[in-house]
Amino acid sequence: MIRIADRYLATRVLLGCGAVTAGLLTVYLVLSLVDESGSGSSWSEALRDSLLALPSTLQRLLPAMTLLGAALGLGYSARHHELIVLRGAGLSPLRLARGPMLAGLLIGALGLANAHWLLPLAGAQQGYGQQALWVPMGEAVVRVERMPDAQSLRGVSVYQFSPNGLQQVLRADSAQYQNNGRWRLQQVQSLRFADGQLQQDSQDSLDSEQLPQPEVLRLESLERGAVGLGDLLRFVADRRAHGVPSPEAEVRLAALLMQPVLLLALLSLMAAGLAAHASRTGLGARLMLLIGLGLAASVGQDLLGALAQLQRWPPIPSVAAVPLAVFLLALISPRLLRA
């Protein structure tokens, strides 16, 4: 009976999440097609760009879609007195949350798979950014005007600083990555400030180790939402190795890692909240309350992440605070709703 109840409630949640996901992504795809076609793109290009943006959209909307799907599936069970039967069989509201949380484990695993594999694949297909990149590298700052591919650069400038200010400016028309781990700069001009004098030099080519590795430049050129989990791990490690940590990337990484925990917290709250008072009376109001609390938690996690970037708070504890608060609310919800 208990295992059957877990499987049944997990299936209800998964079916509800599938229906909500299909509906929301269909609406997004239609709106995205209209927007892309209105910008002058052909329908084939608009469809391609819209499909490539689906993985990042799915990742952003996953908590909301999971919450609404759980409300749809568990709301159906509550409306048809199924939760009353399970409560009558001796299952507590918190015990009834186990089935939905099993579904949450599967959804969280799919979310991590999307973040690890689909996001970087879609980002690579979207191509590299055509806007100028500014990349800090310890005591130097590198500017790249254009990046045709991961190993070719156009319009490279390297600004080398010392404690006394700007020390050297190196400019090159292009750069090509070599097998020895260095960049070969072409048509190089160098300006050096020394002893109050300006020294100028020019070379046809120059091998340099001052430029970032191709993978780092690729990550810099992509939007954060299109960067996969593995890429983010490497990017954060590289930034820390060069002494220039990226709070934005670290918070993004923490949010991806904590997303399955947030999903489990939201599902436990929805299940315990609905089962705490399993009659049909006031079901709509309870559903709206639980959905509102869940959406507020999702938005609150984003706000805490933004504050963590500004205040330089530790990313993992900052992002984990909201799921822990939701778990606590799920524990006390039976008493709050007079189980």
Question: Residue 102: pLDDT band by 50, 70, 90 thresholds?
Answer: very high
pTM: 0.78
Q: Which of 30-34, 48-52, 146-150 has the lowest mean pLDDT?
A: 146-150
Nearest to 227 by CA among 118, 119, 302, 305: 119
- Range 5-11 average pLDDT: 95
Residue 226's pLDDT is what?
62
Share of the chain above pLDDT 70, in %: 91
In this structure, what are the phi and psi dihedrals at residue 337, rounded to the nearest 5 degrees?
-100, 10
- Per-residue pLDDT of 111-155, as tens digits, reads 999 999 998 888 767 655 556 788 888 888 999 988 877 788 989
Distances (CA, A) of 38 to 27, 30, 108, 134: 17, 12, 35, 31
pLDDT higher than 70, residue 337: no
Residue 172's pLDDT is what?
94
Residue 227's pLDDT is what?
72
- Range 63-91 average pLDDT: 91
Contact (Cβ atoms closer than 8 angstroms) between residue 266 and residue 294: yes
Question: Residue 72: pLDDT band by 50, 70, 90 thresholds?
Answer: very high
Domain ranges of the chain: 2-127+250-336, 133-212
pLDDT higher at 301 or 166: 301
Distances (CA, A) of 138 to 8, 153, 157: 55, 20, 15
Q: How many other β-carbons are positioned within 10 Å of the β-carbon of residue 280? A: 12
Nearest to 194 by CA among 223, 216, 165, 174: 165
Q: How far apart are CA 69 and CA 294, in angstroms?
A: 12
> What is the chain's length?
339
Q: Which of 5-19, 63-77, 134-148, 175-189 has the lowest mean pLDDT?
A: 134-148
Question: Residue 339: pLDDT band by 50, 70, 90 thresholds?
Answer: very low
Extended strands (E) in the chain? 133-137, 140-149, 152-162, 165-177, 183-194, 197-208
Q: How far apart are CA 80 and CA 302, in angstroms?
A: 36
In this structure, what are the phi and psi dihedrals at residue 156, rounded to the nearest 5 degrees?
-100, 135
Q: How far apart are CA 250 and CA 243, in angstroms?
A: 14
Q: Is 76 helix (H, G, I), strand (E, B) or coil?
A: helix
Binning the chain into helix, strand and coil, the percentages to the nearest 5 are 65, 20, 15
- Per-residue pLDDT of 309-330, as tens digits, reads 999 999 999 999 999 999 999 9
Q: How many other β-carbons are positioned within 10 Å of the β-carbon of residue 99? A: 26
Beta strands 183-194; 197-208: pairing state: antiparallel
DSSP state of 19: H
In this structure, what are the phi and psi dihedrals at residue 74, rounded to the nearest 5 degrees?
-75, -30
Contact (Cβ atoms closer than 8 angstroms) between residue 304 and residue 298: no
